[in-house]
Amino acid sequence: MSARLLLLIASAGCTLSTAYGDAVRSTGPSTNAPAPDTRSADTLPESPGVRRARNTAPYPTAPADPWAAVANDQPIHMSEEASKNWYVRTEPFACTAAADHCFLPGVWLVEQDAVRERPYRYAIAFGIGQEYLVSPPNSRASGAALKAITAYRTVPATKRHLVPGAMAMFLKFPDKHPRSGEEVFETSWSIGIVERVDWDMGFVFFVGQKDQAWISGVRVPVLAWRPGGKVTIVDGRKRDQLGVAVSEVTLP
């Protein structure tokens, strides 16, 4: 994680938190967390420590259509009532690209203007509310102000999208994918410009960054929005070239 991020000691176990504007987020489970369970989320047993609501949707089985969160050239803003019920699954799960990295419907990766010019850029997952950026109420993440930001709709990396010069959001090595739906919101997604891709080894390298990332943990922005403007297509792609099929993604 960038040395420029604010690190807070959140518990006796030294869980780290990242300050993001008005939001404070955990960086996710420790490396001592149990191995992800790849069973369907609906078949997992309830345990006293799991913070989940009964009305949470199953984990995705395919990447979402990036246009599904857009209407009339604007993000679909969540109502206050919808944001209160925008629950995320918290049980361990292998959130691979085939499961759209467990992104909830309506998720955008948001970069704050204040960090855009820093050497190490990052984005955070949010929903777009009426006046605020929204996080699931049953996660450890917090909301943030809906100002001075760029929000991106992203898709899992494919050979069509992950090319030299493209902008990408990625999990820091050695993470290959999120380990639960909740972790999506509690993780900083690093931002970089693709320098080269080693499809055989499964790595992507970024301009000016010494560490590689696993392709399986990379997402590519295809739509962008700033408050007061319209949703636009990133990198001059065609409208029908944005979506991704399960057969195109890279798995760990």
Give the H or E element holding residue 167: strand 167-170
According to the model, what pLDDT value does residue 140 have? 83
pLDDT digits (tens, 9 = 90+) for 215-233: 999 999 999 999 999 999 9
Nearest of 12, 5, 9, 152 to residue 70 by alpha carbon: 152
The tens digit of pLDDT for each residue in 161-216 reads 999 999 999 999 999 999 999 999 999 999 999 999 999 999 999 999 999 999 99
Domain boundaries along the sequence of the chain: 7-30+60-243
CB 183 within 8 A of CB 193: no
- Predicted confidence at residue 117, as pLDDT, reads 84
pLDDT digits (tens, 9 = 90+) for 10-57: 333 333 333 344 333 333 333 344 444 443 333 334 443 344 455 688
Buried b (16+ CB within 10 A) or exposed e, 175-184: bbbbbbbbbb
Mark 153-169 as b/e (b = at least 16 C-beta within 10 Å): bbbbbbeebbeeebbbb
| Percent of the chain whose pLDDT exceeds 70 | 78
pLDDT band of residue 106 (cuts 50, 70, 90) is: very high
Residue 224, both tokens:
């962008």
| SS3 (DSSP) at 127 | strand
pLDDT, mean over the chain: 83
pLDDT band, very low/low/confident/very high, at 66 (cuts 50, 70, 90): very high
Give the pLDDT confidence score for residue 21 in this predicted structure. Answer: 43
